[in-house]
Amino acid sequence: MSSHPPWQPVLALDVGGTKLAAGVVGPDGGLRSLHQVGTVVGEGPAAVVKRLLELGEQALAESSDGPVVAVGVGCGGPLDPRNGVILGPPGLPGWDEVPLGRMVADRFGLPTYVENDATAAALGEFQWGGWGVRDLVYLTVSTGFGGGVVANGKLFRGAADQGGELGHVVVDWQGRVCGCGARGCAEAYVSGTSVARRATEAVADRLGSSLAHLPVITAKDVAEHARAGDDVAGAVWDETTAMLGRMVAVLINICEPELVVLGGGVTRSGNQLLDPVREAALRQAMPPAANACDVVLSRHGDAVGVLGAAAIAYERLGAV
Protein backbone atom coordinates (compact mmCIF):
# COMPACT_ATOMS: atom_id res chain seq x y z
CA MET A 1 0.00 0.00 0.00
CA SER A 2 1.32 3.41 -0.98
CA SER A 3 2.08 6.02 1.68
CA HIS A 4 0.85 8.70 -0.73
CA PRO A 5 -2.67 10.06 -0.19
CA PRO A 6 -4.87 8.56 -2.92
CA TRP A 7 -6.24 11.93 -3.93
CA GLN A 8 -2.95 13.14 -5.40
CA PRO A 9 -2.73 13.17 -9.23
CA VAL A 10 -0.45 11.10 -11.45
CA LEU A 11 1.26 11.73 -14.78
CA ALA A 12 0.10 9.36 -17.51
CA LEU A 13 1.97 8.68 -20.76
CA ASP A 14 0.63 6.74 -23.74
CA VAL A 15 2.88 5.40 -26.53
CA GLY A 16 1.10 4.40 -29.73
CA GLY A 17 2.24 3.63 -33.24
CA THR A 18 0.62 6.81 -34.56
CA LYS A 19 0.48 9.22 -31.63
CA LEU A 20 1.98 9.97 -28.24
CA ALA A 21 -0.14 11.41 -25.47
CA ALA A 22 0.51 12.74 -21.99
CA GLY A 23 -1.80 14.00 -19.30
CA VAL A 24 -2.20 14.62 -15.59
CA VAL A 25 -5.06 12.58 -14.16
CA GLY A 26 -6.74 12.68 -10.76
CA PRO A 27 -8.07 9.67 -8.83
CA ASP A 28 -11.56 10.46 -10.11
CA GLY A 29 -10.35 9.90 -13.68
CA GLY A 30 -10.56 13.62 -14.37
CA LEU A 31 -8.07 14.98 -16.89
CA ARG A 32 -6.15 17.96 -15.55
CA SER A 33 -4.24 18.33 -18.83
CA LEU A 34 -3.78 16.47 -22.12
CA HIS A 35 -1.22 16.85 -24.91
CA GLN A 36 -0.77 14.77 -28.08
CA VAL A 37 1.78 14.64 -30.92
CA GLY A 38 2.62 12.24 -33.72
CA THR A 39 4.87 9.30 -32.89
CA VAL A 40 7.05 9.22 -36.05
CA VAL A 41 8.26 5.67 -35.39
CA GLY A 42 10.81 5.90 -38.19
CA GLU A 43 12.93 8.22 -36.07
CA GLY A 44 13.68 5.36 -33.68
CA PRO A 45 13.03 4.84 -29.98
CA ALA A 46 15.49 7.41 -28.62
CA ALA A 47 13.87 10.29 -30.52
CA VAL A 48 10.35 9.11 -29.75
CA VAL A 49 11.07 8.74 -26.03
CA LYS A 50 12.62 12.21 -25.98
CA ARG A 51 9.44 13.61 -27.50
CA LEU A 52 7.33 11.64 -25.02
CA LEU A 53 9.25 13.03 -22.05
CA GLU A 54 8.91 16.58 -23.37
CA LEU A 55 5.19 15.98 -23.76
CA GLY A 56 5.04 14.85 -20.15
CA GLU A 57 6.77 18.03 -19.05
CA GLN A 58 4.18 20.07 -20.94
CA ALA A 59 1.33 18.18 -19.29
CA LEU A 60 2.83 18.79 -15.85
CA ALA A 61 3.35 22.49 -16.56
CA GLU A 62 -0.29 22.92 -17.57
CA SER A 63 -1.76 21.14 -14.54
CA SER A 64 -2.49 23.20 -11.42
CA ASP A 65 -3.31 20.30 -9.09
CA GLY A 66 0.02 20.28 -7.31
CA PRO A 67 2.77 17.64 -7.51
CA VAL A 68 2.10 14.25 -9.03
CA VAL A 69 3.09 11.13 -7.08
CA ALA A 70 3.81 8.61 -9.85
CA VAL A 71 3.93 8.04 -13.59
CA GLY A 72 1.88 5.46 -15.47
CA VAL A 73 2.96 4.45 -18.97
CA GLY A 74 0.94 2.51 -21.53
CA CYS A 75 2.75 1.05 -24.55
CA GLY A 76 2.09 -1.60 -27.15
CA GLY A 77 3.31 -5.07 -26.23
CA PRO A 78 4.98 -7.39 -25.84
CA LEU A 79 6.71 -5.81 -22.88
CA ASP A 80 7.96 -6.64 -19.41
CA PRO A 81 5.70 -4.66 -17.06
CA ARG A 82 7.63 -5.61 -13.92
CA ASN A 83 10.86 -4.10 -15.21
CA GLY A 84 9.36 -1.55 -17.60
CA VAL A 85 11.16 -2.92 -20.68
CA ILE A 86 9.63 -2.84 -24.19
CA LEU A 87 10.23 -6.11 -26.07
CA GLY A 88 9.80 -5.41 -29.77
CA PRO A 89 6.13 -4.56 -30.42
CA PRO A 90 5.12 -5.08 -34.08
CA GLY A 91 3.81 -1.51 -34.20
CA LEU A 92 7.07 -0.02 -32.88
CA PRO A 93 9.88 -1.39 -35.08
CA GLY A 94 13.30 -1.12 -33.45
CA TRP A 95 11.92 -1.04 -29.89
CA ASP A 96 13.87 -4.08 -28.76
CA GLU A 97 14.81 -4.19 -25.05
CA VAL A 98 14.03 -0.48 -24.59
CA PRO A 99 14.11 0.33 -20.82
CA LEU A 100 11.25 2.79 -21.05
CA GLY A 101 10.31 2.62 -17.37
CA ARG A 102 13.83 3.52 -16.24
CA MET A 103 14.09 6.33 -18.81
CA VAL A 104 10.83 7.88 -17.59
CA ALA A 105 11.71 7.41 -13.91
CA ASP A 106 15.10 9.03 -14.45
CA ARG A 107 13.50 12.07 -16.08
CA PHE A 108 10.74 12.68 -13.52
CA GLY A 109 12.24 11.17 -10.35
CA LEU A 110 9.01 9.33 -9.56
CA PRO A 111 7.82 5.74 -9.24
CA THR A 112 7.03 4.65 -12.81
CA TYR A 113 4.75 1.79 -13.82
CA VAL A 114 4.63 0.41 -17.36
CA GLU A 115 1.82 -1.72 -18.78
CA ASN A 116 0.51 -2.91 -22.14
CA ASP A 117 -1.55 -0.01 -23.45
CA ALA A 118 -4.69 -2.01 -24.20
CA THR A 119 -4.50 -3.83 -20.87
CA ALA A 120 -4.16 -0.46 -19.16
CA ALA A 121 -7.11 0.95 -21.10
CA ALA A 122 -9.25 -1.99 -19.95
CA LEU A 123 -8.58 -1.01 -16.34
CA GLY A 124 -9.25 2.65 -17.14
CA GLU A 125 -12.61 1.74 -18.67
CA PHE A 126 -13.46 -0.39 -15.67
CA GLN A 127 -12.47 2.31 -13.17
CA TRP A 128 -13.79 5.40 -14.90
CA GLY A 129 -16.02 4.39 -17.79
CA GLY A 130 -19.15 4.65 -15.69
CA TRP A 131 -20.34 1.26 -16.89
CA GLY A 132 -21.14 -0.29 -13.51
CA VAL A 133 -19.95 -3.79 -14.43
CA ARG A 134 -17.56 -6.33 -12.89
CA ASP A 135 -16.61 -8.22 -16.07
CA LEU A 136 -15.38 -6.26 -19.07
CA VAL A 137 -13.34 -6.77 -22.24
CA TYR A 138 -11.72 -3.75 -23.87
CA LEU A 139 -10.51 -3.79 -27.49
CA THR A 140 -8.46 -1.03 -29.07
CA VAL A 141 -8.89 -0.71 -32.84
CA SER A 142 -6.10 1.64 -33.72
CA THR A 143 -2.75 1.50 -35.54
CA GLY A 144 -2.59 -1.98 -34.05
CA PHE A 145 -5.25 -4.11 -32.43
CA GLY A 146 -5.20 -5.35 -28.85
CA GLY A 147 -7.22 -5.68 -25.73
CA GLY A 148 -7.50 -6.34 -22.06
CA VAL A 149 -9.77 -8.26 -19.73
CA VAL A 150 -11.21 -7.35 -16.33
CA ALA A 151 -12.74 -10.40 -14.62
CA ASN A 152 -14.73 -10.00 -11.40
CA GLY A 153 -13.25 -6.57 -10.89
CA LYS A 154 -9.62 -7.65 -11.34
CA LEU A 155 -7.31 -7.01 -14.27
CA PHE A 156 -6.26 -10.28 -15.90
CA ARG A 157 -2.49 -10.45 -16.46
CA GLY A 158 -1.64 -14.15 -16.69
CA ALA A 159 1.45 -16.13 -15.73
CA ALA A 160 3.83 -14.12 -17.95
CA ASP A 161 2.13 -10.73 -17.39
CA GLN A 162 1.02 -10.72 -21.05
CA GLY A 163 -2.55 -11.90 -20.47
CA GLY A 164 -5.17 -10.33 -22.70
CA GLU A 165 -2.94 -10.21 -25.81
CA LEU A 166 -6.13 -10.38 -27.83
CA GLY A 167 -4.73 -8.91 -31.04
CA HIS A 168 -2.82 -12.11 -31.68
CA VAL A 169 -5.69 -14.52 -31.35
CA VAL A 170 -5.60 -16.40 -34.66
CA VAL A 171 -8.83 -15.98 -36.62
CA ASP A 172 -7.60 -17.54 -39.90
CA TRP A 173 -4.75 -20.01 -39.49
CA GLN A 174 -3.83 -19.81 -43.19
CA GLY A 175 -4.47 -16.08 -43.39
CA ARG A 176 -2.48 -12.89 -43.75
CA VAL A 177 0.95 -12.56 -42.19
CA CYS A 178 0.80 -10.44 -39.02
CA GLY A 179 3.50 -8.07 -37.85
CA CYS A 180 4.31 -10.58 -35.10
CA GLY A 181 5.29 -13.17 -37.75
CA ALA A 182 2.31 -15.48 -37.32
CA ARG A 183 -0.46 -15.97 -39.86
CA GLY A 184 -4.07 -14.95 -39.45
CA CYS A 185 -3.94 -12.91 -36.25
CA ALA A 186 -6.89 -10.62 -35.65
CA GLU A 187 -4.50 -7.66 -35.84
CA ALA A 188 -3.72 -8.59 -39.45
CA TYR A 189 -7.36 -7.88 -40.36
CA VAL A 190 -8.92 -5.29 -38.09
CA SER A 191 -6.15 -2.82 -37.16
CA GLY A 192 -6.15 0.55 -38.87
CA THR A 193 -2.87 -0.41 -40.52
CA SER A 194 -4.42 -3.56 -41.95
CA VAL A 195 -7.55 -1.76 -43.16
CA ALA A 196 -5.35 0.69 -45.07
CA ARG A 197 -3.09 -2.05 -46.45
CA ARG A 198 -5.95 -4.24 -47.65
CA ALA A 199 -7.63 -1.26 -49.30
CA THR A 200 -4.37 -0.35 -51.06
CA GLU A 201 -4.07 -3.91 -52.35
CA ALA A 202 -7.70 -3.94 -53.48
CA VAL A 203 -7.35 -0.62 -55.32
CA ALA A 204 -4.43 -2.01 -57.31
CA ASP A 205 -6.86 -4.57 -58.75
CA ARG A 206 -9.80 -2.15 -59.12
CA LEU A 207 -8.46 1.18 -60.35
CA GLY A 208 -11.99 2.55 -60.79
CA SER A 209 -12.31 3.02 -57.04
CA SER A 210 -12.48 6.55 -55.68
CA LEU A 211 -9.66 5.51 -53.34
CA ALA A 212 -7.31 5.24 -56.34
CA HIS A 213 -6.95 9.03 -56.47
CA LEU A 214 -5.44 9.22 -52.96
CA PRO A 215 -1.63 9.31 -52.60
CA VAL A 216 -1.83 7.34 -49.33
CA ILE A 217 -4.90 5.43 -48.14
CA THR A 218 -5.79 5.41 -44.44
CA ALA A 219 -8.45 3.54 -42.47
CA LYS A 220 -10.30 6.84 -42.12
CA ASP A 221 -10.36 7.16 -45.91
CA VAL A 222 -11.74 3.65 -46.25
CA ALA A 223 -14.57 4.42 -43.83
CA GLU A 224 -15.41 7.72 -45.54
CA HIS A 225 -15.37 6.28 -49.07
CA ALA A 226 -17.40 3.27 -47.94
CA ARG A 227 -20.06 5.67 -46.59
CA ALA A 228 -20.02 7.45 -49.94
CA GLY A 229 -20.79 4.21 -51.75
CA ASP A 230 -17.42 3.14 -53.16
CA ASP A 231 -17.55 -0.60 -53.80
CA VAL A 232 -13.89 -1.34 -53.03
CA ALA A 233 -13.92 0.64 -49.78
CA GLY A 234 -17.23 -0.93 -48.85
CA ALA A 235 -15.92 -4.46 -49.39
CA VAL A 236 -12.83 -3.81 -47.25
CA TRP A 237 -14.90 -2.17 -44.52
CA ASP A 238 -17.44 -5.01 -44.52
CA GLU A 239 -14.67 -7.59 -44.21
CA THR A 240 -13.19 -5.63 -41.32
CA THR A 241 -16.42 -5.38 -39.36
CA ALA A 242 -17.28 -9.03 -40.07
CA MET A 243 -13.90 -10.19 -38.80
CA LEU A 244 -14.08 -7.93 -35.74
CA GLY A 245 -17.63 -9.10 -35.04
CA ARG A 246 -16.51 -12.71 -35.17
CA MET A 247 -13.57 -11.91 -32.91
CA VAL A 248 -15.85 -10.25 -30.37
CA ALA A 249 -18.18 -13.28 -30.47
CA VAL A 250 -15.25 -15.56 -29.62
CA LEU A 251 -14.29 -13.33 -26.70
CA ILE A 252 -17.86 -13.22 -25.44
CA ASN A 253 -17.92 -17.03 -25.44
CA ILE A 254 -14.57 -17.32 -23.65
CA CYS A 255 -14.79 -14.49 -21.12
CA GLU A 256 -18.57 -14.02 -20.72
CA PRO A 257 -18.22 -10.29 -20.00
CA GLU A 258 -21.09 -7.99 -19.24
CA LEU A 259 -19.61 -5.49 -21.66
CA VAL A 260 -17.20 -5.31 -24.61
CA VAL A 261 -15.87 -1.77 -25.06
CA LEU A 262 -14.33 -0.70 -28.37
CA GLY A 263 -11.84 2.17 -28.42
CA GLY A 264 -8.99 3.49 -30.54
CA GLY A 265 -8.73 5.73 -33.58
CA VAL A 266 -10.71 3.53 -35.98
CA THR A 267 -13.75 3.80 -33.67
CA ARG A 268 -14.06 7.49 -34.65
CA SER A 269 -16.21 6.05 -37.45
CA GLY A 270 -18.86 5.56 -34.74
CA ASN A 271 -21.93 3.53 -35.59
CA GLN A 272 -20.50 2.65 -38.99
CA LEU A 273 -18.20 0.33 -37.06
CA LEU A 274 -20.22 -0.38 -33.94
CA ASP A 275 -23.54 -1.42 -35.46
CA PRO A 276 -22.32 -4.26 -37.73
CA VAL A 277 -19.79 -5.45 -35.15
CA ARG A 278 -22.35 -5.52 -32.35
CA GLU A 279 -24.92 -7.31 -34.54
CA ALA A 280 -22.45 -9.95 -35.74
CA ALA A 281 -20.97 -10.54 -32.30
CA LEU A 282 -24.24 -10.97 -30.44
CA ARG A 283 -25.69 -13.13 -33.24
CA GLN A 284 -22.71 -15.49 -33.34
CA ALA A 285 -21.92 -15.80 -29.63
CA MET A 286 -23.58 -18.56 -27.63
CA PRO A 287 -27.01 -17.35 -26.45
CA PRO A 288 -26.46 -17.35 -22.66
CA ALA A 289 -23.25 -15.33 -23.00
CA ALA A 290 -24.67 -13.07 -25.71
CA ASN A 291 -27.80 -12.35 -23.67
CA ALA A 292 -25.65 -11.19 -20.73
CA CYS A 293 -23.43 -8.89 -22.82
CA ASP A 294 -23.49 -5.67 -24.81
CA VAL A 295 -20.97 -4.08 -27.19
CA VAL A 296 -20.35 -0.33 -26.91
CA LEU A 297 -17.91 2.41 -27.86
CA SER A 298 -15.60 3.98 -25.29
CA ARG A 299 -16.77 7.37 -24.04
CA HIS A 300 -13.22 8.64 -23.65
CA GLY A 301 -12.10 9.12 -27.26
CA ASP A 302 -8.42 9.95 -27.69
CA ALA A 303 -7.94 10.18 -23.91
CA VAL A 304 -8.56 6.46 -23.29
CA GLY A 305 -4.85 5.55 -23.43
CA VAL A 306 -3.86 8.26 -20.96
CA LEU A 307 -6.65 7.30 -18.57
CA GLY A 308 -5.56 3.67 -18.78
CA ALA A 309 -1.96 4.54 -17.95
CA ALA A 310 -3.20 6.57 -14.97
CA ALA A 311 -5.35 3.67 -13.78
CA ILE A 312 -2.29 1.42 -13.80
CA ALA A 313 -0.32 3.94 -11.74
CA TYR A 314 -3.08 4.12 -9.13
CA GLU A 315 -3.44 0.34 -9.07
CA ARG A 316 0.29 -0.20 -8.58
CA LEU A 317 0.40 2.49 -5.91
CA GLY A 318 -2.32 0.61 -4.08
CA ALA A 319 -4.65 3.61 -4.18
CA VAL A 320 -7.45 1.70 -5.94
Residue extents of the structural domains in the chain? 10-123+303-317, 133-298
More confident residue, 229 or 77: 229
Q: Is the pLDDT of residue 132 over 90?
A: yes
Q: pLDDT tens digits for 44-60?
A: 999 999 999 999 999 99
Question: pLDDT value at position 158?
Answer: 82
Q: Is the pLDDT of residue 89 over 90?
A: no
Question: pLDDT value at position 319?
Answer: 63
Q: Is the pLDDT of residue 141 over 70?
A: yes
DSSP string computed for the chain? --SS-TTS-EEEEEE-SSEEEEEEE-TTS-EEEEEEEE--GGG-HHHHHHHHHHHHHHHHHH--S-----EEEEEPSSEETTTTEEE--TTSTT-EEE-HHHHHHHHH-S-EEEEEHHHHHHHHHHHHS----S-EEEEEESSSEEEEEEETTEE---TTS-TT-GGG-BS-TTSPBPTTS-BSBTHHHHSHHHHHHHHHHHHHH-TTSGGGG-SS--HHHHHHHHHTT-HHHHHHHHHHHHHHHHHHHHHHHHH--SEEEEESGGGGGTHHHHHHHHHHHHHHS-HHHHHT-EEEE-SSGGGHHHHHHHHHHHHHHT--
Specify the CATH class of 133-298 in words: alpha beta
The architecture of the domain spanning 10-123+303-317 is 2-Layer Sandwich (3.30)
Q: Is the pLDDT of residue 1 over 60?
A: no
**Mean pLDDT of the 86-109 span:** 92
Question: pLDDT value at position 6?
Answer: 54
Do 10-123+303-317 and 133-298 agree at the fold level?
yes
Q: Is the pLDDT of residue 221 over 90?
A: yes
